[in-house]
Amino acid sequence: MSNIKSVATLVVGGGIGGLAAALALAQRGRKVHVIERAPEFKEVGAGLQLAPNASRALARLGVLDSVWKTAVFPQQLVWMDAPSGEHVTSLDLGEKFRGLYKHPYIVMHRSDLLEALLQACQANVNISLETNKHVIDVMDLGDAAEARCADGSAYRCELLVGADGLHSVVRSALVGASEPVCSQYVAYRGTIPMDRMSTHAGVDNVMMWTGPNMHLVQYPVRRGELYNQVAVFRTYNYVPGSDDWGTQEELVRRFADACPDVKDALTMIATNRRWPLFDREPIREWTRGRIVLLGDAAHPMLQYLAQGAAQALEDTLALADAVAEHEHDLARALEKYTSVRRPRTARVQHTARIFGEIIHMEPVGAEVRNELLAHRPGDEFSAVNWLYAA
Ligand SMILES: Cc1cc2nc3c(=O)[nH]c(=O)nc-3n(C[C@H](O)[C@H](O)[C@H](O)COP(=O)(O)OP(=O)(O)OC[C@H]3O[C@@H](n4cnc5c(N)ncnc54)[C@H](O)[C@@H]3O)c2cc1C
């Protein structure tokens, strides 16, 4: 029993969601301890798009100044047809967009965002951080919760926040263990120095090239010094439980009918690691007693709306607001938090799946879609307003 450490609030997982949650709660006066499985706080992967709902959250977390030092502010989201190389439609991110949403659309390296959050956590006296702590089980004790780690250590707290991502152990304790849903799509992604991109479709824009069952996204990150690329395609060789699908050879085959700009870009994409893409169905059980979920642990989604991290950031503020409002009644605070966040994130999870189907349409459907989108003005924001204005 002596090996149980007591903390006020325990955050399990030190990714974007976990560090932002620590910050949001600590800024409202709560003592927070973050435990992370990995030896250091680190992000894998490459770029992140952060829509105004995300940059608004970062402003409230007080990290926008440090984020702006490395972020890039694209002028447009440009949708191109990958087979023909023709323009489909754009979304202008300029003056009208900023006037409407008050916060910019930014793109940045994941590790730059994590570093900004980490530095803010390290500077906050209410936050302590620990790595190499792999949580293997959590328990609700009524007016407290407990987390046990693989190294035999344990933590008791009055509030336990599960921010441990797609394969969340905390979530398993609430709803039972289950595998996430495999979309049978896979991503290859990475950044390269900007000067290695001899041709590109625009360093000022986020480019999305779509074709049947595949797409490529490109944008600059880190002050424009690096170019981020994400190639995504559907495998035709999926075997449950196997890793032998979505291979590098398949990547080349699936993009065989793409235009030269896209094929050139693919020659510069990192192929040493592949990311199978998963989500889960929305669940009702985000809390039990003093345990609560946020980010991918609560609502993992396909990345087609570029909203997973944005929704995690929104979660952290909603949670901190609810806890501050009902400081002496945590059950009520968690009820308030889930009632605000569950419907919105479920909508984003579902819409991400639908948008994935729209961008990956087969040729005949894609032709009709492109024709319909061709006449949409770039400064027409009704399709994204529900997402960005919140
Ligand atoms: C290809 C791709 C592109 C994407 N693009 C975007 C985008 O442009 N914009 C956007 O907003 N979102 C995007 N996302 C989604 C975004 O990356 C995630 O939604 C976001 O990172 C989730 O953050 P999180 O903190 O909830 O989870 P995670 O980032 O998964 O962090 C969980 C943390 O918990 C730790 N952990 C896990 N288990 C344990 C344990 N048992 N004990 C202790 N620690 C543990 C992990 O090591 C990790 O540090 C994209 C996702 C993919 C796959």
CA distance 93 to 71: 15
38-83 per-position pLDDT tens digit: 999 999 878 999 999 999 999 999 999 999 999 999 999 999 999 9
DSSP states of 296-342 as a string? GGT----GGGS-HHHHHHHHHHHHHHHHHHTTT-HHHHHHHHHHHHH
Q: Which of 130, 164, 172 to mutate to test the pocket of ligand 1 (most atoms within 8 A of CB)?
A: 164
Largest CA distance in the chain: 68
How far is Cα of residue 74 from the mean position of the Cα atoms in its chain? 19
96-128 per-position pLDDT tens digit: 999 999 999 999 999 999 999 999 999 999 999
24 C-alpha vs ligand 1 centroid, how far in Å?
18
* pLDDT tier at 12, thresholds 50, 70, 90: very high
Domain 4-45+111-179+281-356: homologous superfamily in CATH: FAD/NAD(P)-binding domain (3.50.50.60)
165 C-alpha vs ligand 1 centroid, how far in Å?
5
pLDDT score recorded for residue 3? 83
Q: Is 306 in the pocket of ligand 1 (CB under 6 A)?
A: yes
Ligand 1: atom nearest CA of 49 is: 8
Question: SS in 3 state form for 325-337?
Answer: HCCCCHHHHHHHH
* pLDDT tier at 239, thresholds 50, 70, 90: confident
pLDDT score recorded for residue 199? 62
**Domain coordinates in residue numbering, the chain:** 4-45+111-179+281-356
pLDDT mean over 272-286: 95
Torsion-angle region of 223 (φ positive above 0: left; ψ -120 to 50: alpha; else: beta): left
Task: Identify the three-state secondary structure at position 80.
Answer: strand
141-153 per-position pLDDT tens digit: 999 999 999 999 9
84 C-alpha vs ligand 1 centroid, how far in Å?
34
CA distance 150 to 353: 35
For 89, residues 6+ apart whose C-beta sits below 8 A from its C-beta are: 79, 373, 374, 376, 378
CA distance 47 to 44: 10
Torsion-angle region of 45 (φ positive above 0: left; ψ -120 to 50: alpha; else: beta): left
pLDDT score recorded for residue 202? 66
**Which residue's CA is the nearest one to ligand 1's atom 28?**
165
pLDDT mean over 373-380: 96
Q: Is 310 in the pocket of ligand 1 (CB under 6 A)?
A: yes
- Cβ distance 82 to 209 under 8 Å? yes
